C-alpha cells in the first residue's frame, strides 16, 4: 500500500469511528440549552418589518451571553406563508424575505465561532400546495408525483361537500378547521390535509417520498446543520382503510366535532421511518440531533419515540406532558418529572414550556398575581432537572401573550376562522423585545412590523432587564450558568424529596464526584411553607447548606436544611456539602 492509500484508509477509519460513536454522557445535546427562534419575529435587519437570517446572526452574541448551545429556527424555506413557513414550496432554499443560502451559511459559520449550533425545522408531514410536487400531483392522476400525496375517490353522496356526486371518504377533520379532504376537479379526487388545505399530506407509504425527504435532510446536513426539529412528526401516516374516527362528543373551537385522532396520528408505521432516519442522520459526524414535536398522551408513548430500550429512534422527542399540563401543581409536576427520569429507559428527557403555537407559559401557569415568581419556578424546573432544556424566544424576558383584540388584526388563519373562540397564535409570535430605543423595541426600524410590538416593551426588554439583577433575564442567565458549572446539575442523579407535600416541589441532584449536591425547593402555593429536609434516604449525610439562588430575600442566607420557610411562590436553590453516611 502506498503512503496515500494508507492515509486514506486511516481517514476512513477515523470518519467511521467518529460517525458511529454512540452518544455518550458528554454528547453536546444532553447538556444543551436549546432556543427556538421564530425568524419572522426575532430581528429585522433590512427594515421590512419582518425578521430575517441576518438579524439572527446579528444577535448571536446575545444568545452566546445567555448561554444558548443551539438555536432551532422555525421554517425559513420558500413558502407562500399561509402557515408562516410551515407550508414549504422548496425545501432546499431560503425564502427571499428571510435572506439567501449565503446568509444561512454565514449564520452557521458565525454560530460555530461562538459554539452556537443551528438546528432546522423539517416539515415532513406535508408540503405547500404550491410545491412543484403537488402542482404535478394535482395536474393528472397519471403524473409520477400523484401518488406522493394521499388521495381518495370519495364515496357516492350529495350535499354541500359533494363534487360530481361524491363526498369525502370519511369524517376526518383538519386540525385547523373543516373537512380534512379537498376536491381537485382535474383528477376527480379528494386529497387529505391534516392542517390547512394549502398543506397537502405526503403519502409516506410511497418509498419515493421517503427518499426525496431524506435527500432534503442530507442537503442541510451537508451544510453543517446540527440536526432537525421534526414538525408534527406523529402525523406522517393515516389509517390505510380510511375508516371514520370515533366521535368524542361536542365540538371544538372551530365548530368541528371532537374526534379521537387515533387513525390519523401516532400510527405504528411511523417508527420504521424514524429508525431509518436515525441511521441516516447518525452516519454524519458530530452527534447531529433529531428532536420531535411529539404531543403524546403519556410517558409510555413518549418512550416509544426514543425506540424504547433500543434507543434507535429520536434523540430528543419533546416531553409535552409537563410543560403543557397548564396547572401549577407540585404533585403533578413531581410525578411527571419522576416519570421522565425513570421510565424512559435512561434516555435523555427534553422539557419545554413555550413555543410559537401556545399561549406563553407565564400566562398558562400564572395566577395573574404571582406570574413573575411562577415563571421563575418554571425556569428552575427547566434548567435544574436532568432534562435538556428547550426555550422559546422572549421566555427569558417574561414576554407575555399579546392576543389581538380585534379579528381584523389577526394574521394567523385559524384565529380568523375560529374567532372569537379561537383567536389564533399571533399572541405568542409578537416581535422580540430588545430595547426601548424605538417604538419597535429595537426589533425593526419599520413602524409597520408584521405583528405589533406589545406596549410593555418599555420595561420588558433585553437591555432593561440586563441591568436589573432581579429580572427574569438574569434569573435565566444565572440558572444556565449554574447548570453548566455545577457537576450536580450537569451529571448528577435526581431524587424527589418530601414526596407527600402537595404544595412544595423539592428534589436533590446528587453528583458522583463528591462535589456539593444541589437541592431545589419551589413553593407552588399562596401560603408560606416550612420544610425540613433529611437527605439520608438519598445516601447523603448533609452538613451545611448554602443558598445559590432565590427570589426570596429572606432565604439568601440559608445555612442548614432544617427548617426553611419558603414564602408564597418562592424558589430556593441551594448547595449542600455532604459526607457519605
By C-beta, is 201 or 287 nearer to ligand NOJ?
201
Residue number with the smallest Cβ distance to ligand NOJ:
86
Task: Note if 231 is an active site residue.
Answer: yes
Closest CA to 67 of 369, 389, 305, 325: 389
Which residues lie across from 508 on neighbouring strands? 495, 519
Cβ neighbors of 220 (< 8 A, separation 6 or more) are: 120, 122, 228
Backbone angles phi, psi at 143, to 5 degrees: -65, 140
Q: Give residue for cell 374526534.
A: 259
36 binds ligand NOJ (CB under 6 A): no
71 binds ligand NOJ (CB under 6 A): no
Residue 530: CB minimum distance to ligand NOJ, A: 43
239 binds ligand NOJ (CB under 6 A): no
E strands in 141-276:
151-152, 155-156, 166-167, 181-184, 189-192, 227-231, 247-251, 257-259
86 binds ligand NOJ (CB under 6 A): yes
What does the alpha-carbon distance between residue 34 and residue 483 come to, in Å, rounded to a whole number? Answer: 13
By C-beta, is 192 or 475 nearer to ligand NOJ?
192
Cα 225 to chain centroid distance, Å, stands at 17
Question: Could you say which residues in the range 386-425 bind ligand NOJ, by CB under 6 A?
Answer: none
Mark 179-208 with x for binding to ligand NOJ (rule: CB under 6 A) and - for no binding: ----------------x-------------
Residue 293: CB minimum distance to ligand NOJ, A: 6
By C-beta, is 265 or 550 nearer to ligand NOJ?
265
Active-site hit among 83, 238, 293, 395: 293
Residue 38: CB minimum distance to ligand NOJ, A: 9
Residue 401: CB minimum distance to ligand NOJ, A: 15
The sheet with strand 289-292 has its strands ordered as 316-317, 289-292, 227-231, 117-123, 70-73, 33-37, 388-392, 350-352
Q: How many CB atoms lie within 10 A of CB 252?
A: 16
Question: Could you say which residues in the range 106-145 bind ligand NOJ, by CB under 6 A?
Answer: 123
Question: Could you say which residues in the range 273-302 bind ligand NOJ, by CB under 6 A?
Answer: 293
Cell of 39: 425568524
Mark 144-183 with x for binding to ligand NOJ (rule: CB under 6 A) and - for no binding: ----------------------------------------
Residue 126: CB minimum distance to ligand NOJ, A: 7
Three-state DSSP class for 282? helix
Which of 53, 118, 119, 232: binder of ligand NOJ (CB under 6 A)? Answer: 232
Which of 52, 69, 182, 231: binder of ligand NOJ (CB under 6 A)? Answer: 231
The interaxial angle of helices 299-306 and 270-282, nearest 10 deg, is 40
Q: What is the DSSP letter of 156?
A: E
What does the alpha-carbon distance between residue 361 and residue 460 come to, in Å, rounded to a whole number? Answer: 16
Closest CA to 269 of 315, 309, 296, 235: 235
By C-beta, is 356 or 364 nearer to ligand NOJ?
356
Which of 52, 69, 83, 245: binder of ligand NOJ (CB under 6 A)? Answer: 83
Cell of 315: 434523540
Residue 536: CB minimum distance to ligand NOJ, A: 46
DSSP string, 475-535: HHHHHHHHHHH-HHHHH-EEEEESTT-SSEEEEEEE-SSSSPEEEEEEE-SSS-EEE---G
353 binds ligand NOJ (CB under 6 A): no
213 binds ligand NOJ (CB under 6 A): no
Cell of 226: 446540527
Active-site hit among 121, 231, 313, 395: 231
Task: Note if 164 is an active site residue.
Answer: no
Residue 288: CB minimum distance to ligand NOJ, A: 21
By C-beta, is 450 or 578 nearer to ligand NOJ?
450
| Interface residue list for ligand NOJ (CB under 6 A) | 83, 86, 123, 195, 231-232, 293, 356-357
Question: What residues are annotated to the active site?
Answer: 231, 293
Amino acid at each position: 500500500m502506498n503512503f496515500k492509500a494508507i492515509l486514506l484508509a486511516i481517514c476512513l477509519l477515523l470518519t467511521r469511528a467518529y460517525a458511529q460513536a454512540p452518544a455518550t454522557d458528554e454528547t453536546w445535546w444532553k447538556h444543551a440549552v436549546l432556543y427556538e427562534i421564530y425568524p419572522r419575529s426575532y430581528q429585522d435587519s433590512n427594515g421590512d418589518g419582518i425578521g430575517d437570517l441576518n438579524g439572527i446572526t446579528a444577535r448571536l452574541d446575545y444568545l452566546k451571553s445567555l448561554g444558548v448551545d443551539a438555536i432551532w429556527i422555525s421554517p425559513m424555506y420558500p413558502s407562500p406563508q399561509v402557515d408562516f413557513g410551515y407550508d414549504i414550496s422548496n425545501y432546499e432554499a431560503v425564502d427571499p424575505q428571510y435572506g439567501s443560502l449565503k446568509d444561512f451559511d454565514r449564520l452557521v459559520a458565525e454560530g460555530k465561532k461562538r459554539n452556537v449550533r443551528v438546528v432546522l425545522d423539517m416539515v415532513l408531514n406535508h408540503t405547500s400546495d404550491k410545491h412543484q410536487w403537488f402542482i404535478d400531483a394535482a395536474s393528472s392522476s397519471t403524473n409520477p408525483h400523484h401518488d406522493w400525496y394521499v388521495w381518495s375517490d370519495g364515496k357516492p353522496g350529495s350535499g354541500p361537500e359533494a363534487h360530481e356526486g361524491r363526498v369525502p371518504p370519511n369524517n376526518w377533520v383538519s386540525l385547523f378547521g373543516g373537512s380534512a379532504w379537498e376536491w381537485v376537479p382535474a383528477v376527480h379526487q379528494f386529497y387529505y390535509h391534516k392542517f390547512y388545505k394549502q398543506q397537502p399530506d405526503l403519502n409516506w407509504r410511497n418509498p419515493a417520498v421517503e427518499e426525496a425527504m431524506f435527500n432534503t435532510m442530507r442537503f442541510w446536513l451537508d451544510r453543517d446543520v446540527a440536526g432537525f426539529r421534526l414538525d408534527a412528526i406523529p402525523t406522517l401516516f393515516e389509517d390505510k382503510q380510511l375508516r371514520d374516527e370515533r366521535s368524542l362528543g361536542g365540538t371544538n373551537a372551530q365548530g368541528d366535532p371532537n374526534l379521537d385522532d387515533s387513525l390519523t396520528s401516532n400510527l405504528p408505521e411511523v417508527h420504521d421511518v424514524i429508525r431509518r432516519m436515525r441511521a441516516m442522520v447518525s452516519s454524519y459526524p458530530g452527534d447531529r440531533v433529531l428532536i420531535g414535536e411529539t404531543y403524546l398522551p403519556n410517558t409510555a408513548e413518549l418512550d416509544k419515540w426514543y425506540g424504547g430500550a433500543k434507543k434507535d429512534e429520536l434523540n430528543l422527542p419533546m416531553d409535552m406532558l409537563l410543560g403543557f399540563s397548564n396547572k401549577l401543581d407540585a404533585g403533578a409536576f413531581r410525578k411527571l418529572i419522576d416519570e421522565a427520569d425513570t421510565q424512559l429507559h435512561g434516555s435523555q428527557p427534553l422539557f419545554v414550556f413555550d413555543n410559537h403555537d401556545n399561549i406563553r407559559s407565564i400566562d398558562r401557569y400564572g395566577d395573574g398575581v404571582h406570574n413573575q415568581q411562577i415563571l421563575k419556578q418554571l425556569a428552575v424546573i427547566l434548567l435544574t432537572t436532568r432534562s435538556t432544556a428547550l426555550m422559546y424566544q422572549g421566555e427569558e424576558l417574561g414576554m407575555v401573550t399579546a392576543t389581538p383584540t380585534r379579528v381584523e388584526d389577526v394574521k394567523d388563519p385559524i384565529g380568523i376562522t375560529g374567532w372569537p373562540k379561537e383567536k389564533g397564535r399571533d399572541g405568542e409570535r409578537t416581535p422580540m423585545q430588545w430595547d426601548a430605543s424605538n417604538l419597535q423595541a429595537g426589533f425593526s426600524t419599520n413602524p409597520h412590523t408584521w405583528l405589533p410590538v406589545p406596549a410593555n416593551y418599555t420595561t420588558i426588554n433585553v437591555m432593561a432587564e440586563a441591568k436589573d439583577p432581579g429580572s427574569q433575564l438574569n434569573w435565566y442567565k444565572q440558572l444556565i450558568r449554574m447548570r453548566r458549572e455545577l457537576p450536580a446539575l450537569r451529571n448528577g442523579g435526581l431524587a424527589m424529596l418530601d414526596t407527600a407535600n402537595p404544595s412544595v416541589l423539592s428534589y436533590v441532584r446528587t453528583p458522583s464526584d463528591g462535589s456539593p449536591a444541589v437541592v431545589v425547593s419551589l413553593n407552588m402555593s399562596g401560603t408560606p411553607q416550612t420544610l425540613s429536609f433529611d437527605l439520608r434516604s438519598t445516601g447523603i449525610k448533609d452538613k451545611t447548606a448554602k443558598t445559590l439562588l432565590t427570589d426570596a430575600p429572606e432565604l439568601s442566607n440559608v445555612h442548614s436544611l432544617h427548617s426553611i420557610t419558603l414564602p408564597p411562590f418562592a424558589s430556593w436553590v441551594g448547595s449542600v456539602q455532604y459526607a457519605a453516611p
